[in-house]
Amino acid sequence: MPPIVSDEYKQKKKREILDSAQQAFGEKGYQVATIDDIVAYSGMSKGAIYNYFESKEDIYVQLMNLRTERTFEFFEESLKEYKTATEKIKFLFKTYADVELNEDRQKSIQVHVEFFINSGRDAEMKKLMVDRFKDIYQKFLIEIVEEGKKVGEFGTHVDSNIISSLFWGILDGVCLHYSVLGADEYPYQDIMVEAEKIFMQYIQK
Amino acid sequence: MPPIVSDEYKQKKKREILDSAQQAFGEKGYQVATIDDIVAYSGMSKGAIYNYFESKEDIYVQLMNLRTERTFEFFEESLKEYKTATEKIKFLFKTYADVELNEDRQKSIQVHVEFFINSGRDAEMKKLMVDRFKDIYQKFLIEIVEEGKKVGEFGTHVDSNIISSLFWGILDGVCLHYSVLGADEYPYQDIMVEAEKIFMQYIQK
Amino acid sequence: MPPIVSDEYKQKKKREILDSAQQAFGEKGYQVATIDDIVAYSGMSKGAIYNYFESKEDIYVQLMNLRTERTFEFFEESLKEYKTATEKIKFLFKTYADVELNEDRQKSIQVHVEFFINSGRDAEMKKLMVDRFKDIYQKFLIEIVEEGKKVGEFGTHVDSNIISSLFWGILDGVCLHYSVLGADEYPYQDIMVEAEKIFMQYIQK
Amino acid sequence: MPPIVSDEYKQKKKREILDSAQQAFGEKGYQVATIDDIVAYSGMSKGAIYNYFESKEDIYVQLMNLRTERTFEFFEESLKEYKTATEKIKFLFKTYADVELNEDRQKSIQVHVEFFINSGRDAEMKKLMVDRFKDIYQKFLIEIVEEGKKVGEFGTHVDSNIISSLFWGILDGVCLHYSVLGADEYPYQDIMVEAEKIFMQYIQK
DNA sequence: TATGAATGAGATTTCATTCAT
DNA sequence: TATGAATGAAATCTCATTCAT
């Protein structure tokens, strides 16, 4: 007899739980948010959640994976329309700048930054984070920068590894401050625009 | 009955506890570190700690205050030797870059970044953080930038408020990544040097 | 509507579940083994198991019944070949001694001993156990001992009730120790042989 | 400043908790008894118990240790008055027989038998149990038996290792049955007397 | 009948804080 | 002031049982 519940259904459930976790973690942070918070957001029972995930940490790691996956799916897809490396990087800045307009994405980034912080404290987690950073974030930007250098858009003085690290550092740093200080106190979009200028001016030519 | 112990003694005790808390928070993070961890580092008793501080959060806030105070005392003192705004900002970059060489300062920055993250989640805490950011961090840098603009070191296109926010964002972002990825994976000093170049090139002229 | 599945089919299913339960209980003990363990061993679904049994405890009781039933079927059948009470008792000792060679039977005994332990703690269960002990175990041996006394194989000093209790006590005690200490540490067969000698020497004459 | 609470006090507390655990485990068995049961018996708070023990299993192991220790302290002390090996072994039988009269000791033995059962299922626990059996129980009896053989009380046909194992097997087996069947159904003392006869008759001469 | 996802009471353990000494 | 044992609310996770399909 075939399984009554389809894989699709299970995937949907997992997504629902991860979305609830995103909300809970976004609201209170990973450490402070409880399974009961996730339960409250999801409308499921505690047991149901443990049917899909092994532990709170498992939820956390899988949420991290999902987020990265979604982000880069979006980037890959969006960047297809842009031909030059310059346009691509400008699009990335713009995307992050626009986050302000979308509270979900805002929370999402906050959780992502918190991931970073917590990760450093657990060896296994740290390895995950390091791999993610190198294999996905860095790789993604290095390719664009190299492309720009080859075509002559960017100067030869640009070290694509260093500059990529710096790029993500700037983004995370500004997002971090924005996530804490809030729109009232922190002119996030203006700062992002300035960040773009500073960055582009340096690498171009 | 007159106080048996001097204020000096009390201050010394408080400092000792805050130093122990710094170690504990640096090691495990604020949420995960326990009062018993602080007890272990300090060599005092739990009761003693509660004689000097009201709660774990109180320790946390006062540690934050102390750290900021010390940092800016150091900056104010150090910057006296430097005449131009350019030199001053370069010194700040250099100071942060050199943190790599000092594990204590490294932990300290990590704790500071975590402060930020957690702060956003509690109204009272957030206000504290916002005030600190505006009244101390921003004020400090804005003054230098304005000075540079007035003297003509920096261009008039520079918005000192935006550029200051960006400065701290870059520093915290790079420190954040470094604190998680570690020296093995993250060429922190090179990145800081590049950050300085990028930043200075933009504001100068 | 007539029953779609035969009683035979149902019986077969129940046996399968009980065998799986035997394995699960043998592996982890009644308390620690979960329904999911039984599911894993049986290859059936949780729902299927609850179609045939009311609860975990029901499985447990019925397994106990089955085991006792099987054991005494085997004994009754085997003892037919033996004429004298002495031979019969020696056969019992031999059967238990040979258990070492069969891991399944070993586990089986362990589960049986655990049954005893747990039973004492629940009034209903205890009654079941007491009845089983008196009506089956004791009855079985008392008959043999009485037979031996009547024929003059065993001395008149033998109280068949006491001696029967002692017989089962010795067997369970030695099996208990063996089940925990294992073959490496416990010369089970030698001990059983000695137990037989001690026991037979006392009752004979 | 010296600790306010003496080691004596702590020892007393630990004993109290272990006694409460003994009651709880005796009542319901190790698996079924909860920390809350121990809390109820002890009158302390849950946290207090965790100040003295690391986990439920820790309580269990230390209770086992304490029991063994007490038992053999009692045996060593008591056996001083007895000169011959025969007298010593008879005393052991008598001690176990008299357990019936003391409900605490009864429960105690029940818990001890359950220890055995559970121990076999956890590698670390098993090692503990094996060591205890060999180094304490077996050693203790082997010495007495060897002494009896040397003096000529016991026959040379007696293998002190095998016979010692058998001795403890008989005791545990009879206690096991008694603990489950209860005094109403199981003439414990008569059986113990018979066990003694059977055992002594075999080894003597 | 068979399936296995869902339930939720309940178990173990942690830890900030208090307070008698 | 200093001590650290005691407290108990709250967190994570388990699992026998149910029930819609």
Q: Any idea where the domains of chain B sit in the sequence?
A: 84-203
Write the residue in D129, D179, D185 that is nearest to C180 by C-beta.
D129
Q: What is the pLDDT of residue C4?
A: 62
pLDDT tens digit sequence for C26-50: 988 899 999 999 999 999 999 999 9
Please tell me what DSSP assigns to residue A99.
Answer: G
Q: What percentage of chain C reaches a pLDDT higher than 90?
A: 73
Q: What would the 3-class secondary structure string for chain C be?
A: CCCCCCHHHHHHHHHHHHHHHHHHHHHHCCCCCCHHHHHHHHCCCHHHHHHHCCCHHHHHHHHHHHHHHHHHHHHHHHHCCCCCHHHHHHHHHHHHHHHHHCHHHHHHHHHHHHHHHHHCCCHHHHHHHHHHHHHHHHHHHHHHHHHHHHHCCECCCCCHHHHHHHHHHHHHHHHHHHHHHCCCCCCHHHHHHHHHHHHHHHHEC
pLDDT above 50: residue D99: yes
From residue D128, alpha-carbon distances to C26, C114, D14 in Å are: 21, 20, 21
Query: How high is the mean pLDDT of chain D?
Result: 91
Query: How high is the mean pLDDT of chain C?
Result: 91
* Nucleotide E8 C1' to residue A35 CA (A): 14
The C-alpha R_g of chain D, in whole angstroms, comes to 19
Whether C13 sits with its Cβ under 7 A from any strand E atom: the answer reads: yes
- CB contact at 8 A, D86 and D204: yes
B50: its two tokens: 């509660």
pLDDT tens digit sequence for C4-25: 667 888 899 999 999 999 999 9
Write the residue in C134, C180, C202 that is nearest to D198 by C-beta.
C202
pLDDT tens digit sequence for A106-138: 788 878 888 787 787 788 888 888 999 999 999
C52: its two tokens: 């045939």
Whether B34 sits with its Cβ under 7 A from any strand F atom: the answer reads: no
**Residue B83 CA neighbour count, 13 Å, CB half:** 1
For strand E, which nucleotides have at least one atom less than 7 Å from a protein CB? 1-21
Give the closest-approach CA distance of D125 to chain C in angstroms: 10
Please tell me what DSSP assigns to residue D30.
Answer: T
Q: What is the pLDDT of residue D180?
A: 86
D197 three-class SS: helix
Which residues of chain B lie closer than 8 angstroms to A120, CB-CB?
110, 179-182
A18: its two tokens: 């991860």
Verify whether the Cβ–Cβ distance C114 to D117 is below 8 Å. Answer: yes
Give the closest-approach CA distance of C76 to chain D in angstroms: 23
Question: Which of the residues in chain A have pLDDT under 50?
Answer: 1-2
The nucleotide minimizing the C1' distance to residue A46's CA is E8
Question: What's the CA gap between C49 and C38, in Å, rounded?
Answer: 9
Q: What is the pLDDT of residue B111?
A: 83
CA geometry: angle B105, B108, B112, nearest 5 deg: 140
pLDDT tens digit sequence for D144-171: 999 999 999 999 999 999 999 999 999 9
CB atoms within 10 A of CB D33: 21
D108 three-class SS: helix
B84-203 under CATH 3.40.50.300, yes or no: no
Place of tokens 């206690």: D175
Measure the CA dihedral D147/D148/D149/D154, to 10°: -170
Question: What's the CA gap between D61 and D78, in Å, rounded?
Answer: 26
- CB contact at 8 A, A185 and B130: yes
Number of alpha helices (DSSP H) and beta strands (DSSP E) in chain A: 10, 0
User: Which segments of B53-187 does DSSP mark as H helices, in order?
Assistant: 56-79, 85-98, 103-119, 123-132, 139-151, 160-181
D:36-95 Cβ neighbours of strand F under 7 Å:
44-48, 50-52
